[in-house]
Amino acid sequence: MSLVDYPESDRARELAKRTRDLMDEVVLPLERDLDPGEAVSESGLRTLREAARDYGVYCPQMPDEYGGMGESFRDSLAVFEEAGRSLLGPPALRVDAPDEGNMHTIEIAGTEEQKQRWLPPLIEGEARSAFSMTEPAPGGGSDPKMIKTTAEKDGDEWVINGHKWWTSNGHEADVFLVMARTDLDAHPYEGCSIFLVPAETDGLELVRDVPAMESSILDLSHAEVRYDNVRVPEENLLGAENEGFTIAQQRLGPARLTHCMRFCGMSDRALAIARAYMQNREAFGSALADKQALRHKIAEQELALHGTRTMTRDAARRVSNGHEARIPVAMCKIRAARMVQETVDIAIQCCGGAGLSRDLPLVDFYEGLRFFRIGDGADEVHLRSIAREAFSDEHVAEEDLKNLPEF
């Protein structure tokens, strides 16, 4: 449990308690029953999802008319944090990436026909999705303006050609959300669009799974994909033509905050595991929990976790009030990514040899979290945005310049 009580609505507190009960009574016991290195089975995931429905916390963030619970973004965040205490929590509650972000994208930009086709099976867990944007060099990666994939209009169809990788869920996906250039004369931010491409579409080739540093508890692929004259009808355009980056930003802001909350939950559990181990393991005449150096390491991470939780809640409040909150979200993304990596690393250190074994979930945490400092915008990209804002004319006052000493 958190050392600090955060200001939440009554509904958020209720959802958080239900989720913690689900995690303690169903999800964590199933996690412990898995053999080391074993991935959860599809039947196991179905069992967890049925339990999440029974506990009243299944897919809270999506509209109820498509199968979700219709909860507000702000109240749903408490569910994301509690679910993050296990790698099995997010898929159990259907708040897992990339499907969660893709469902949100279809919800905000899709036509009613697109929503009716894709949201119910995605929410139900009967379908999977993939966001296909990142490209190998010389295509778009951390600098998305370098995107090379194109989509050209041919009658009442779009013809997509390009090469993507790190398309998460690629080999499991039933539908791909593909970012492509649709106006080569415009700046990429004003000339790209997103298309819904069903997995069975001719010309869509799954080249391979990119060998990745990834936890073994979830069978998640990161596919390399080629689009060779892939034809989709014009009604598969998601949102307005040439508005792909605008839609992507609407997707990424909330998605980054949900990542942050999931990783706060992971950090909370990592610290709880470390404290429990330290209280029960003796060395040099006393429990590890009595050693000041280790106690202070835990305290420092509690401090970092509290700061991240507070920042994320503040950014979520801004987003819920209709603000873009680009800089606060960027700050949260950097801080949460660093904090969770530091926390799990210290928890492993405090648990010694036990921390390195798969008897505890810390190794799976460690393997699964490192991507977060690169995925959804590398640390350096977000720092670049923050620095650009910090050095803008709005934040460099003329009066401050006048007060500088002369050399």
Quickly list H helices, 215-291. 244-280
User: Is residue 187 classed exposed, middle or buried when 0-12, 13-18 and 19+ CB atoms within 10 A define those classes?
Assistant: exposed
For residue 4, what pLDDT is reported? 85
| Residue in 62, 48, 66, 136 with CA at minimum distance from that of residue 99 | 62
Using CA atoms of 321, 327, 328, 331 in order, give the dihedral in degrees to the nearest 10.
160
Calpha distance 19→77 (Å, rounded): 11
Beta-carbon contacts of residue 237 (< 8 Å; ≥ 6 apart): 158, 193, 194, 195, 196
Phi, psi dihedrals of residue 212, rounded to the nearest 5° = -135, 155
User: Which residue's entry shows tokens 């194109």?
Assistant: 150
For residue 399, what pLDDT is reported? 67
Phi, psi dihedrals of residue 60, rounded to the nearest 5° = -65, -25
Q: Which residues of the chain have pLDDT under 70?
A: 1, 397, 399-401, 407
| 282-283 vs 192-198, strand pairing mode | unpaired
Q: 306-353 pLDDT, tens per residue?
A: 999 999 999 999 999 988 899 999 999 999 999 999 999 999 999 999
pTM of the model: 0.92
Beta-carbon contacts of residue 137 (< 8 Å; ≥ 6 apart): none
For residue 266, what pLDDT is reported? 97
For residue 375, what pLDDT is reported? 86
CA-to-CA separations, 248 to 83, 191, 194, 391, 400, in angstroms, rounded: 25, 13, 9, 26, 37
For residue 221, what pLDDT is reported? 83
Can you list the domains of the chain with their CATH numbers?
10-96 (1.10.540.10), 129-238 (2.40.110.10), 245-394 (1.20.140.10)
For residue 63, what pLDDT is reported? 97
CB 389 within 8 A of CB 325: no
For residue 395, what pLDDT is reported? 78
Calpha distance 328→318 (Å, rounded): 9
CB 362 within 8 A of CB 344: yes
Single-letter amino acid, residue 226:
R
SS3 325: coil
* Rounded (to 5) percent helix, strand, coil in the chain: 55, 15, 30
Using CA atoms of 289, 291, 297, 303 in order, give the dihedral in degrees to the nearest 10.
60
DSSP labels for 208-223?
EEPP----TTS---EE
Calpha distance 195→241 (Å, rounded): 10
Calpha distance 319→9 (Å, rounded): 16
| 204-209 vs 222-233, strand pairing mode | antiparallel
SS3 179: strand
For residue 220, what pLDDT is reported? 78
Q: Residue 49 — left, alpha, or beta (φ > 0 → left; ψ -120 to 50 → alpha)? A: alpha
Single-letter amino acid, residue 153:
K
Q: 125-175 pLDDT, tens per residue?
A: 999 999 999 999 999 999 999 999 999 999 999 999 999 999 999 999 999
For residue 1, what pLDDT is reported? 67
